[in-house]
Structure 1
Amino acid sequence: MTKNYITVEIEGLQLEKFINLAVESGISLWNVKRISFTNIKFNMYDKDFKMIRKIAKKTNCRVKILNKKGPIFLFKKLHRRIFFIVGLMCFSSLIYIFSNIIWSIQISGNKYLNESLILKSLSKSGLKIGAYKKKLNLRDIENSVLKDIKEISIITITLDGTKAKVEVVERTMPPTIIDTEKPMNIVAEKDGIITKVIALKGQKIVREGDYVKKGQVLISGIITDSQNIPLEVTRALGEVYARTWYESIKEFYLNYKYFERTGREVKKVYFILPNNKIIDLKPVVNNFTLYDKIINKENVKVFGIKLPIVKVTEHYYEKVEKNKKLSYNEALEMALKEIDKEFSTILPKGVKILDEKYDKIITKDKVRIRKLVVIEEKISKEVEIK
């Protein structure tokens, strides 16, 4: 019996009549399934398709072939492309073989340990250039390296294509006690382009070069299989670094307006009790039109003991508006100083600056400066899985 069969869909209002005529005509149908009120599908031998079309015409039904299975259909497609198929098979075999060999080893996280020492230990454990991936037991290799190099507290080995990524944590600080029972995701604190992912525990969701948005999951505490079915919920551990950017725009008019303090000051003192009641012993009226206001708060102390009473001192400094004609160079210099001052407060400490760009626009009456700074910083934070 031939193994060549087709899957057919029939659409019409006389489906029962269609089936009865097909059976009466000796046509074999199997896996008959109703899709909807007007549609059914079934399997049949391809040799009977001409008869099916005649029956469909009698019952005003439409016929559509959904699938064809069997050697004859495959042969019809491939008999004129045999050399291409043979070449493709050979090429696929080579690709398969080469894709299962380790061609590079990338080590990260080692600040003090020599990379060659780690590579030597990995080689002794079986992970080296040319190693066959399917023969590697990554967990055994990790344990072997931990025993061999006492300066390493954590090591994680992952395979990314033909590259082995080795991420280590050195024993430079006492280990932090972490509640590993509490399920956590590691998410992005801000937008950025990923530069480094160190996933010590959990399922890595992103990789280098990915653009991520604030709140996006980077390392998931929900471990899933290849079909995205959850297998385990854990606490994700690791760090993620990204390329981020900060922007500042400043404008200075050549007819520069600024404020200058006159030296006159009004001071107002009052107390806030525990019940939030305010006691103003000496009411003061501020009659300044323009002023700077500075508030200082401190707890009242008696013999060095803090009382639950807050002393509030409000300082009002009178100021007046003045004008000054600036040159273009003066305006540019003032704008740059303001931008640098702003960046000194908004940029995280100790980050690596990757790029800086300036744009300036000069018109008849003003100067506009835009500065863009690109840095690499840690953007990951833990968020509890609800």
Structure 2
Amino acid sequence: MKKNWTKYLYGTVIILVEGKHAERFLNYCLHNGIQLWDIKRKKDNELELNMFLEDALRIKTGLRKSGCTFKVLKKKGIPFLLKQIISRSGFVLGIGLFLVIVFLLSNMVWNIQITGAQPKTEHHLRKIIDELGIEKGKLLFMLPDVRSVQHLVTEKMDEVTWVGVTLEGTTFHFRVVEKELPEEVETLSPQNLVAKKEAVITKMYVEKGQPKVEVNQTVNEGDLLVSGYIGKDKNTKTVAAKGKVYGEVWYVTDTTVSLTSKYNTYTGERTTKHYVSLFGWRIPIWGFDSIEYKLYEPLIETKTFRFLKWELPVYYIQKDILEAEKVTRSYSEADAVSIAKEMAKEDLENKLDDDAEIKSGKILHHTLDNGKVNVSMHFTVIENIATEQPIVGGD
């Protein structure tokens, strides 16, 4: 006997067989491979029984030979369900169309909210959002993911410190933190300005306080540059010394560059595959070509489908397979030294203040060891060497 789920799949009927020789009908079914079950005698000349729909189409001969008739009492299974659906196709089509419309509306941008931005900044942000294709009525799975949007927006806006991007339902929220120059607060506590490192003074801009050094003078770390004491004798008072003292400072850096380096680079060829993930099962829907690249890197982007306010266990997955190749780059010793110089300068610039200036740089020495060039560089930098030092007990 077939299992219950196969009964539902193939369809079954409950029939009532009437006739004096109903048993002959049972024997006919038995000899011809017609499966019967749940056979019940209702009256002396009536039998109620279950059979598959496909077998019900083969019993006419058995009924004629046994002199019986039959009547269908009940129909069950997918074939009958499909027949009902077809007979009510307009209603089913309407429900299906309604669900599709609700699904699309649930995965569409309905609102874009921006908070924390001044009108000028908001106008600039909306212009960038439009360039990214984020607008009302656009399907969410056709847009970049939230992390990419946040990165692109922040990168294009110099006037902001941070832009937070979230997607809540069908609404994009942009939270902006603008750059603000802090108001200078007058320091009330008396202080001196002292040298924070050894240097030769090149120029000074003193707003408050008494200068204690001169241009071209060499100072050591901790030496007094600008005093917070002003006036003479009994008229002496303390103030918060303020200004900038620039000095010529020296740095020595060590950099290493390999003569031979290996790395992967993209060739520009790619294969894109599209999937729908349903309850964890990944079903391919486009891009069935096999991957023929010897070396490649996959980039996977996943987007969630929604229905009203709920996230569905259904995802759209785009998988880009980027062809890569191994590249070996070789440098001459002279090229490696030149690259090391640029690397050392860039590394030093990242450590200096914005108003610092690299005046010059020269190679102290370089060595070649195990396929690597080691370069020692000497840099001369002009930078502000003044730092604050509170005057203890100052009035």
TM-score past 0.5 threshold: no
Q: Taking structure 1 as the reference length, what is the TM-score of the superposition? A: 0.32
Question: Larger C-alpha radius of gyration, 1 or 2?
Answer: 2
Q: Taking structure 2 as the reference length, what is the TM-score of the superposition? A: 0.31
